[in-house]
Amino acid sequence: MREFEPSRTAMTVAMLRAAHQIMDTPRVFEDDLAVSILGEHAQPMLRSLIGAADDEIESISLRAFLAARSRHAEDCIARAVQGGIEQCIILGAGLDTFAYRCTDARLRIFEVDHPATQAWKRTRLLGENIPVPASLAFVPVDFAQTSLEQELIKAGWDAARPSVISWLGVVQYLTRDTTMKMLAFVASMPPGSEIVFDYAISPDLMNAAQKKYFETLQPRLAASGEPLQTCFDPAALVAALEALGFGAVEDVAPDRLNALYFRGRADGLRTMTTISHIIRARV
């Protein structure tokens, strides 16, 4: 990753999130800032992506999964806020726009990301005249050098109060040890805290379409410098979360996402080759 540039995966996710806003009706996930935050210089790339987006089943499936993932996470955040939580941490925020669309004045939001990605995002916000709400705090963290907890507290996070954490598109690129340490940190938060995150399933649990996608995806990610590092067995991960102290764990597989968000669509948009599940876990 170069200074003042986003990670390649963050940019890809942002592009596909924007493509969903333009290509798919009805939308699974509404994000009226998804296109503008990319900036004018990225629009030719976005148009090229849209032009080729429906040529491959993998592209359709990935766009569907990313839309459903964002929708599911924001639905989880909304339910947490309705339950009284007033702190939200977006881990690995990338070009996520939730903080700039959120209208609930009760919610204090902390965006955590690598300093390079966050600096680039703040430049994009300024360039597109997207206001930064007073409820948002930026928390640049290089995990190799700084403590997440210390940086959050420095930014105004109250460790004595429960939080809801959204952690999307990150776990796959971390080591298992780093992932479990982060989950243990969340499990140490006050009762009522919860996290929603996605992860890749173990290759030996994939069906034929998923394995084919995985075998083509892995070399591309490695070549980009952001290789997929960790996969989990869903049952084992749920058991590990329960052992950490999470009392309510819900694992959502692709078939369940299709039932929740893509049932009855005429355009065929749905997850087909995704290798990821989404988990919601409550302390």
Q: Please report, for the chain, the start and end positions of each structural domain, with discontinuous segments joined by +.
A: 8-282
| Cβ atoms of 34 and 17 closer than 8 Å | yes
Output the pTM of the full model: 0.93
pLDDT at residue 223, rounded to an integer:
78
pLDDT at residue 228, rounded to an integer:
84
Superfamily of domain 8-282: Vaccinia Virus protein VP39 (3.40.50.150)
Mean pLDDT of 154-180: 96
pLDDT at residue 1, rounded to an integer:
45
Instruction: Please compute Rg for the chain using Cα positions.
Output: 18
Mean pLDDT of 15-29: 93
Number of neighbours of residue 49 by Cβ within 10 angstroms: 19
- Helices and strands (H and E) in the chain: how many: 10, 8
Which runs of consecutive H residues, i.e. helices, occur in 155-207? 176-187
d(CA 200, CA 172): 6
Contacts with 145 (C-beta within 8 Å, 6 or more apart), sequence order: none
- Mean pLDDT across the chain, nearest whole number? 91
pLDDT-derived band at 53, boundaries 50, 70, 90: low
Percent of the chain with pLDDT over 70: 95
User: Minimal CA–CA distance to 186: which of 175, 197, 201?
Assistant: 197
Judged against a pLDDT cut of 50, whether residue 169 lies above it is answered with yes
d(CA 282, CA 261): 23
pLDDT at residue 148, rounded to an integer:
94
Place of tokens 């766009």: 63
